Chain A
Amino acid sequence: MAIMYALKSSDNEIFEVEQKVIEQSETIKKMIEDGAATGEIPLQVSSKTLAKVLEWCKQRQHKTVENENDDNKGKRKKERDEDDDIKEWENKFSDELKADKDVLFDLLLASNYLDLPALLSFLCQLVADMVAGKMPEEIRRMFNIENDFTPEEEKAITAEHGWAFQP
């Protein structure tokens, strides 16, 4: 019988999750080990974001369990098929996040807060792919960064690598 934990989102929604799934979060794993996780575990994450986090963790958990149950025979072909399945799942997951940048940024902050290195790395790569072709002004808007250059300074810095700004 799997041990279940109750996670409470910042907007007071309860999520029942298997220990194995949620232990991927170093933050929660530590809370469990320290015995601090009795009853509901309150998290500074919204229910919408937490649902996404758990979607990721369950997919990863699913993958690990299946690999453990494999015998070696036919494993390679199976692994290949699974890799394809995972790719497909990740693509769908990415597409949803690209469509809703608020969810993406919240998820990025949540993966950092919950200490989920695999998710954090996945999201950083996703954001990097999204921003690679963009212009500085778009970046500032996207990341909510203030332009602290004077117009003269900005012009000088842009001129240093003017060719990089060509479409």
Chain B
Amino acid sequence: MEVSKSLGVSRTKHIPADIGYDILRRLPAISLLRFRSVCKNWLNIIDNPSFAIVNRSTRTVAEDPQILATTRLTTVKTVHTLTYDGYVIKETDQNPTLQLDDDCYIDHAAYGFIIFRTLDGRLLLCNPLRREVLALPPLQQSNVSKVFKLECGTGFDSTTNTYKIVCMMKNLFLPETTLGVYTLSTHSWRILSSPPTSSGCLELTGEKVSAYGDMHWMARCCTTKSMMIGSFDFRKEKFKKTAAPNFGCHYHMINLKESLAVIKFSANNEQIEIWVMNDYERGRWVREKIVSTRLWVREPTVDDICIGACDDGLIFLKRDSLQVFVHNLKTNRIRYMDHPVIAGGPKKSWSELMFNCTGNVLSFRNFNNISPSLPLNTISIFLS
């Protein structure tokens, strides 16, 4: 019998389901969104929330879309998605990506999600890759936003494989603080009875970064007033102090390739130092790189710039000039860019906050209460 060898044998063979799954879990989020339309079986795998969790712990971070959220100081109702291809930033969609029902501020971005805060203190959880928005139930029933200060952070509890949001509502007039943890898989809040900090007291500032499953705030010790990092441990569900480099000066905190990193400017602004926490359990920091800022057109200083990470570099948004530039840490090249959304807006209206994280393929559809999703001023999804 003649067997045609040229056609090859594998064409007639099917890849077993477990091997197919093993390949899928290694793919970047953007490929997965595309491969949903391959067949019903793949659609079911990719849309399963447990797959999204396996995927985030397996895939190669470098290939992921980077989500970079920046916002105006004013509230937003529209989310634009931009892509950066290594050369220019351009709009991905002709129309705004999402329309939010309410005026919102971006509170932070973490683990692939952007968390919006409405004026009356409600939280919206958005997955920009999925174009989905989930309205969180209120932490407290009464409408008390006017007299409360709200602080929240997002984390991933690896013991229960679920995303959680911690929220602290501080009464501005009474010594009264409500601390609650929202769990995505149950779509509900649980009020914590323990005091906000395990030892002493930490005053959280607005600057925060997600890494290692937890949320980390720049914090000030209430008694000594010294700067430190306060973290919420999502497995133990309590605040703790995280070892911080003791520079004696202000620095920026970012998420650099899934690690907590700080950027410190030298006294004359001629160089920046990048310190990375390479051992979260032991609280160990190493200086990873010193980068000269001499190639920058006009040296921004520590106070007039916000920093995020993307691709192989750092992205800088200079507040007074609305200039965006990327410093590639591998090649040491700098690229200045026009930002399609920033360029059109008024000057000096940009917040000092910029958050970056990698994309998440998780869909809220298998949970409850998807608000009619159709929401920043800019969300830039960077694709390498």
User: What residues make up the interface of A, taking CB atoms closer than 8 Å to B?
Assistant: 46, 101-102, 104-106, 108-109, 112, 120-121, 124-125, 127-128, 131-136, 139-140, 143-149, 154, 157-158, 160-161, 163-166
Contacts and interface: CB of A to CB of B under 8 A. Distances in A.
Nearest to B24: A128
A105 B10 contact: yes
A148 B37 CA distance: 10
A131 B23 contact: yes
Contacts of A163: 81, 92-93
A165 B34 CA distance: 6
20 contacts: A105-B10, A105-B13, A105-B15, A112-B18, A120-B22, A121-B22, A124-B22, A128-B23, A128-B26, A131-B31, A132-B28, A132-B63, A140-B39, A143-B15, A144-B11, A145-B14, A154-B37, A160-B131, A161-B130, A164-B33
Given A105-B10, A128-B26, A163-B81, A136 B16 contact: no
Contacts of A106: 9-10, 13
B30 interface: yes
Specify the main secondary structure of chain A where it touches its partner.
Answer: helix
Contact of A124 (B9, B19, B37): B19
B4 to A, nearest CB: 12
A46 B3 CA distance: 14
B146 interface: no
Interface residues of B, number: 37
B40 interface: yes
A107 B23 CA distance: 14
Interface in B123-166: 129-131
B8 interface: yes
Interface in B1-60: 8-16, 18-20, 22-24, 26-28, 30-31, 33-40, 42-43
A116 to B, nearest CB: 13
Interface in B76-95: 81, 92-93
Given A112-B19, A148-B40, A136 B34 contact: yes
Contact of B31 (A132, A148, A160): A132
A46 B64 CA distance: 37
B375 to A, nearest CB: 15
Contacts of A108: 15, 19
Contacts of A164: 30, 33-34
Among B10, B37, B42, B130, the most chain A Cβ lie within 10 Å of the Cβ of B37
A125 B131 CA distance: 28
Closest A-B pairs by Cβ, 10 of them: A105-B10, A102-B8, A128-B26, A164-B33, A161-B33, A124-B22, A157-B37, A136-B38, A102-B10, A132-B31
